[in-house]
Amino acid sequence: MLAFFATSFKSVLFEYSYQSLLLILIVSAPPIILASIVGIMVAIFQAATQIQEQTFAFAVKLVVIFGTLMISGGWLSNMILRFAGQIFQNFYKWK
């Protein structure tokens, strides 16, 4: 019985670890992808116009990341809250 409990606990722990890493990947993907795309576009623009201002690229990426989080924040926070609720609902099964 004790070996089954340890195996069951490990499998639940690994499953929630996998789900949490996948959730982190999904939540962080929109800002990272858009910041990368905008960074490449700004770099091409700066190379074409020979503007070598460091803060320009940073400011544009900062605005894009902020806008992305404002637009998709409800969806992302809903995913995080559902996952946290799922963990807390099943917490009593782990003892």
Identify the pLDDT of residue 16: 87
Residue 1 located in a structural domain: no
Could you give the number of structural domains in the chain?
1
Measured CA to CA, the distance from residue 4 to residue 43 in angstroms comes to 56
- Show the domain range for 74: 23-90
CB count in 10 Å sphere of residue 75: 11
Would residue 82 count as lying in a domain? Answer: yes
User: Does some domain include residue 16?
Assistant: no
Could you tell me if residue 61 is inside a domain? yes
Give residue 75's pLDDT: 94
Does pLDDT of 5 surpass 70?
A: no
Q: Do the domain assignments include residue 8?
A: no
**Can you give the pLDDT at residue 52?**
84
**What does the pLDDT look like over 29-68, one tens digit per residue?**
999 999 999 999 999 999 999 888 888 889 999 999 999 9
